[in-house]
Every structure is written in structure tokens, then in C-alpha cells.
Chain A
Amino acid sequence: MTTDAVSRSSAAHQDEEKIVRYTLTERVNHWIGALSYIYLLMTGLAFWSPYLYWLAAVVGGGPVARLWHPWFGLVFTASVCWTFAEWRRDMEINASDRAWAKAIPDYIQNEDDKLPPVGRFNYGQKLFFWGIFYGVILLLLSGVVLWFTETLPWSLRFLRYAAILVHASVALITIGLFLIHVYMSAVLEEGSFGSMISGYVTRAWAWTFHRTWYYQITGARPNPGSQPRSEPRSGQ
């Protein structure tokens, strides 16, 4: 075995080493949020279209769905608030995100090596986070109006008129975000879904998708002597 082969095999071994990406609390919170959102989605879609009303039957029938939907809304809100408190700083949009945003076409075409290196979360994940965060605020405000709709006096009926439109429109936006999130994390990007279960990613995964974070968390740094495979974009 040549020296080169040894170093390569040890590098390959190191590639598979695990790094903690999500703590147990983060994962538990994520799944509380995810399951409550799925319940909200099923019952909400049942109320949205007669062609999907059968979804209410799946979770116990229309009246039960109407009774629980707002409470699961509170659970989801609590989960999002906790995430906000915990991840707010990781989610701040910075100059490197603006450079990354310009390279979104490369990201869509899976040419990830053309992207500037990203920290713990990339710009897309940050947009998802802020979309859900502001969405949940609007859903909560309009949702409270719909929850206690019968107690509103006739003179405040404009609140009901606003609430049905806001609740449905914002819910649609979050459905879009949710679908993209599920597609990217459970289907498109291999290793992501498992990391939200086990908490671990491999070194290679972290280096590939979140290089800045990888350097931060491992204490490693780029070899100044090595040639980058492609020039990172400016503005990072």
C-alpha cells in the first residue's frame, strides 16, 4: 500500500465520522412542530376544499377536527417560538447570503460546488425559517378570530372577513414552504433527513453543504496551499 493510498483511506474513514448537527432538544422540538403542522395541514385542507373533506374523517371527523385544529395551532406556534429563540442568531441574513442568493440557479441545478460556502444554515433555510415565523404570527392572529368567531360582535365583522382571507392565504404560503422543505430535506439532499432523527451528519456532508459551519465546529481550516476547485463568488 502506498503512502498516498493510506492517506486517502484514512481521509475516507474520516469523511464518515459523525458530527452533531442537531441536539436532542432541537430534534424533539422539530418533530413536535412537524407533527402538529401535519395535523394542521390535514384538518386545514379538509376545511379548505370539499374534495379533501375526507381528510377530516381520517383524523376523527369534522367536529373533532374543528375542536382540535386551534389547539394544535398553539402547539405549532409554541414550537416555532422555541425555534426562534434558539436559532434566531443562526438565521440572521448576512452578506454571504446575498452572494448565495445570486447563485440560486446553480443550487437548483445541483452544482453546489459553484456556491459560496455557507454557515450552519443556507439562505434558503433562512427564508424558510422566517417565512414560517412571520406566517405563524399571522396565522395565530387570524386563527384566534376564527376560533372564537361567534363571540365577535356584529360591529367587528370586518375582522372575520379579514381573518378568513389572511388565514387561507398565509396557510397556502406555508404549504408551499412546507412542501419545499420536505422535498429538500427528506428527498433531495441525502443525509439531511437522518440528521433530524439521529442528530448526526458526516464530516463529508458538513463539508459539502455547510462548509463555513464545518470549519467553525471542527476547528479545521482550508489548506492555504490547495487550489479551490472553483472560485467562490464574491461578497462572502
Chain B
Amino acid sequence: MSQASTEIIRISGHAGAVAGEGLNREFTVCKLVDTTTCIGCKACEVACLEWNGYTFTETTFDNSYQTMPETAWNYWNLIKFNEHERADGSMMLLMRKDQCMHCADPGCLAACPADGAIVQYANGIVDFQEANCIGCGYCITGCPFNIPKFSPTTRRVFKCTLCNDRVSQGLEPACIKACPTGCLHFGTKAEMKELGETRAKQLRDVSGFADAGVYDPPGVGGTHVIYVLHDAKNPELYGGLPRDPHVPLSVRLWKTPLKWLGNIAIVGGILGMAMHYMRFGPKKEEPIPPGEVVNNERRV
């Protein structure tokens, strides 16, 4: 993949044109996570830290294999574990690699007020540009997957880059490189969708998982990280994967109708006041008519 894949098609908090807007690529990139063949080894977690240069920090033990409760500003890739008891009483240890989903319609970018702090590339990657981040945390509000995380020391927000620095140089993301079972795949969105559907069909037809399917939520325009799930009807079982994620309604209301209403009201109000002054002029004090007031001599 060439540098052209990192042509920017969408910019947060941006007034004016975007260089790559409307650019059509033949393909976008995609990560496929097959939760049915994940063994929870966490090689992807380590590879992510290694590649992105973060140090190992203290982890949280809460009677589970999970490294910490949720991703952190310096821990972008986390396998979520869930001991799930099925209807027949048998147990399943569900494991899902949690990270940024790289939505086609990113809520973080919609909510962000800082020019250029979040960009979307033509290859589908949604990337934070921390140099432009102001640390307001609106992306945290906009994200339906609880991914952007605030660093108190730098007062900037961080998340998975889908290894944009590797992908733009023709390499696959670090997590993919490290996966020993081959449950992680990387390629074009079309290829990954096809591979995922093939695997889901195999799970349904051969392995007895009647509800197996691919998770590629349409509410956010599809994602550039997709999952194969044994039970696609209950994505919540996989560490709280939302059933039907959307950019929050309040973010949409705030960024579209309220913005227009507010702007029209402010401009209209200023024009109205200017008109009022020109039509009616200033209010001037009037002299107190003689004889109108008695006992007016007292000084105050």
C-alpha cells in the first residue's frame, strides 16, 4: 500500500475543504478478528505496546484473565474475557480483542471541536493527531465503543491507530503480526468480509453454532475492524460489544440542528438589534419638568 492510502478524507473541527474529500479508493483496509479461534494469549496486547513504544504498567487482577477492566490511553489493545454459561449449562470462555473499531462514520470525529485532531484516511483508518488535540474529551462522548482514553499527564486523548504508520509502509498492524493462531487477519474490507462470512458459515454448518455471524455494525456505517462471533445475536456477551452502535443522538442534535438554530439566532439577533437602533434610536434621559416633583432638593 502506498502513501496515497493515507490521503485525508475527513478532518475534525475543520472549516473549509479537505484535500481527499470525495476521494474514492478501490479498497479500504480491514482487520478481521475471529473470536472463535482466539486463545487469549495476549500476544497482540504485547505487540501493540512494543510497536507503539509504551512501557508495561501495573495490571488489575479481578478474578479474570483480563489484563485490566478496559483499554487505557497507553494500552490500546485489550482482550476482554467473559465466562459465559450457555442455555444447556455448558461453559464458554469468550475472548474478544477490543480496540478502536475505525468506524466509517466516526462519532469521535463528529464530536471533536479541534481542527485536525482527528482525521479519517481514504483507506478507512481513523487517526488521532495528538499535536492538534486540546484534551476536551468530546471524542469520549462521541464514541459508541468506549475507546478514546485521556492521558492526565499530557492532557491529550489516545487510541489505536490501526498501525497507520505500518500500514502506510505496506506492513500489517503489529497485533496481526504477533497472533500465533491466525485468528487475526488483515486485508481489504471486501476480502475480510468474505473471509469472515466463510468462517461464520463453517461455524453454522459444521460446528453447530447456529447464530454465528460477522459483526460489522451498519449504525456507524460499518467498521474497519470486524468480528466473527459464535453468537452474533448477542454481541454484548463479548465484553460488552454494543448490539446496534450509533453516534449518540445528542451528538447528532448538538452538531447539526442545534448548531444551525444557534447560529441563525445569534446572527439574526445582532442584525435585529442593529435594525432596532436605526429605526428607534437611543433612549435619552428627559429633564425633570419643573413643578413635577416636590421635595427634590435633598442631596444624595
Contacts and interface: CB of A to CB of B under 8 A. Distances in A.
A165 B259 contact: no
Contact of A50 (B13, B134, B281, B287): B13
A178 B129 CA distance: 36
Given A50-B13, A53-B13, A180 B251 contact: no
A128 B277 CA distance: 20
B38 to A, nearest CB: 23
Contact of B295 (A15, A176, A190, A220): A220
Interface stretch (A4-12, A71-79, A85-93, A132-140): A4-12
A82 B236 CA distance: 50
A175 B265 CA distance: 10
Contacts of B134: 56, 62-63, 65-66
A66 B273 contact: no
B138 A164 contact: yes
Interface residues of A, number: 67
B13 A14 contact: no
Interface residues of B, number: 62
Nearest to B292: A226
Contacts of A222: 292-294
A56 B300 CA distance: 46
Nearest to A182: B273
A188 B14 contact: no
Interface string B249-274: 11101100011011101100110010
B293 A202 contact: no
A7 B290 contact: yes
B141 interface: yes
B115 A53 contact: yes
A110 B285 contact: no
A172 B267 CA distance: 12
Nearest to A217: B300
B189 to A, nearest CB: 28
Contacts of A47: 113, 136
A169 interface: yes
B251 A164 contact: yes
A220 B292 CA distance: 10
Contact of A176 (B248, B253, B265, B282): B265
Given A49-B259, A164-B254, A150 B293 contact: no
B215 interface: no
Given A15-B287, A50-B115, A190-B285, A172 B262 contact: yes
B150 interface: yes
A112 interface: yes
Interface string B191-220: 000000000000000000000000000000
A154 B146 contact: yes
Interface string A52-64: 0100100000110
A150 B149 contact: yes
A183 B240 CA distance: 53
A46 B136 CA distance: 12
B67 to A, nearest CB: 17
A223 interface: yes
A179 interface: yes
B113 A53 contact: yes
Interface string A209-236: 1000000011111110110010000000
A207 B300 contact: no
A53 B15 contact: yes
Interface centre among A19, A65, A168, A180 (most CB of B within 10 A): A168
A108 interface: yes
Nearest to A12: B287
A140 B285 CA distance: 38
Nearest to A207: B288
B296 interface: yes
Contacts of A219: 295, 298
A152 to B, nearest CB: 8
Contacts of B141: 149, 157, 160-161, 164
Interface of A: 7-8, 11-12, 14-15, 17, 19-20, 46-51, 53, 56, 62-63, 65-67, 108-110, 112-113, 146, 149-150, 154, 157, 160-162, 164-165, 168-169, 172, 175-176, 179-180, 183, 187-191, 202-205, 207-209, 217-223, 225-226, 229
Query: Which 3 residue pairs spanning A and B have beta carbons closest together?
Result: A150-B150, A62-B134, A149-B137
23 contacts: A7-B290, A12-B287, A19-B300, A48-B113, A49-B259, A50-B13, A63-B135, A66-B134, A109-B280, A110-B283, A157-B146, A160-B141, A165-B253, A176-B269, A179-B270, A179-B273, A190-B285, A204-B286, A207-B286, A209-B283, A218-B296, A220-B298, A221-B293
